[in-house]
Chains A and B, each alone.
Chain A
């Protein structure tokens, strides 16, 4: 551990390991995200990208290592709800929205505010109305607000989930493969949207789509077999022979 570095970071992973039945999905993984930073994470299938997000959001407990948020909170000691309340939002690789709720209600559930049963029971609709309208506009779902989320196309579900992240207004957004299944035009729009979000939030994006990663124009971390293989600009890591070997050159 490096306490000096830790206190300056928003997210600090140090020596994190996770095994599934003896298979090491994360192997002594360490990296840091600074406040306000946007980072792209790439790596071949099975590199451990999603598992890393599982560890940060409390879904998976690491066998070893530290995950420190905001320079002080040890996330490995918290559960999912507590981590979300600390200000970490997540978009899943497979889009997960509440299918039997309307688009509007999905955003209403996500919007920041008290999460305990007493508050939600007596909650009056109104205050967040404008904010939800605004987000509907940003993610282009205004016309479909009263439709069930289950009826949306794959791409629209992705956008709704990004909209839910916006509604949550977390300090750190973990975005797992946001452009999977999108057309080129949609992909470009999503890159714009994420860059816009990154102006006011810290964002970690996992993506395979290299055009998209280039569009983002941010620092890239390459994962391979559960640890960091290379880090730097996309051009820098693309030139790294080890990266070429395990990933780009396949």
Chain B
């Protein structure tokens, strides 16, 4: 019974999405590795990392959609879960540097030697093992979300107040990770990585593998979310989003449901962060900045919340625009982002995917079976 759980996500739409994501996951690295430079079909190495980064953002957006689009929890702190997953991976990568650092200390990362530390802090233990780091990538964001959710949902903190708490959380972490004595590299964060699982991080083959891993993680994340949404639990989530107190009167413990999706979502965000770090080569406290978390919510809104596919499209489109604008007209990006958000709220309240769905419905003019999960426009 439980074995077939993930397969529930595999309806036609889900299959098409999976085929595209996995297709890209194989095609892009192949065009990079197998087609010689100079050939018009060659994908340059930097583009592999860039699109790989977008895939991580897409997974992150998916995790936000699960809580916001389906359960009405507007988290403005998902950047923190993403960054914590990233730091866990970064710590593993730091320990892989070994004696190849500037100070050639086999045990301590450079920044600790620089701070005159004599031994590794206890919370760095175990991070030389990949399996340990991999567990922490999920466990640390998950534990933080569980703790925060435990108190917030039990006290029935909802709406704006919950959003503010999540912002405060990521802001507090920003300040903490900036401090040198926290032992996470302070301002500079963790960088200068050398190896991952024994392979050089920068090598073309590693880059291709990381790219594929990101596509696979996105595909699995999508499958998981879709299976959840299509289960009875998914129906309860939507009921909570639309009429929380009514759901209680049916006997559902709303706080347990919220805690479940919030924690799961944080774990997914952590995985996204962990895949992001080796591809960009650095993790620093700026990932905790409140503006970062707000930007993520905009990706979801642009793509269409409560659609799963929408946030994936939104994350990729907005970040593509960001890459383009910050290179072409750097000062313009924040205005473009703000303008985009206002435009979407005013003209596409259901985002790109919501608008397309509405449009095709009207175009066909046939009363089809309604989409039971589409949320009401903006709260």
Binding site for B on A (CB under 8 A): 57, 59, 79-81, 84-85, 89-90, 92, 96-102, 105, 108-110, 115-117, 120-125, 146-148, 151, 164, 168
Contact = CB atoms under 8 A, between A and B. Distances in A.
Contact of B238 (A59, A100, A110): A100
A165 B162 CA distance: 32
Nearest to A146: B369
B375 A100 contact: yes
A80 B248 contact: yes
A90 B249 contact: yes
A110 B248 CA distance: 11
Contact of B233 (A57, A85, A120, A146): A120
Range of interface residues on B (Cβ < 8 Å):
20 to 34
B239 A81 contact: no
A101 B372 contact: yes
Interface of B: 1-2, 5, 228, 231-233, 235-236, 238-239, 242-243, 245-254, 256-257, 260, 369-370, 372-376
B231 A84 contact: no
A122 B249 contact: no
B250 A101 contact: no
Given A96-B243, A99-B242, A84 B233 contact: no
A105 B247 CA distance: 13
Given A81-B251, A109-B239, A146-B369, A98 B246 contact: yes
A164 B249 CA distance: 11
B5 A84 contact: no
A97 B243 CA distance: 8
10 contacts: A79-B248, A81-B253, A81-B254, A98-B243, A98-B246, A100-B373, A100-B375, A121-B228, A124-B1, A168-B251
User: 3 closest A-B pairs (Cβ-Cβ)?
Assistant: A84-B251, A80-B248, A120-B233
A150 B125 CA distance: 55
Contact of B232 (A79, A92, A123): A123
Contacts of B374: 100
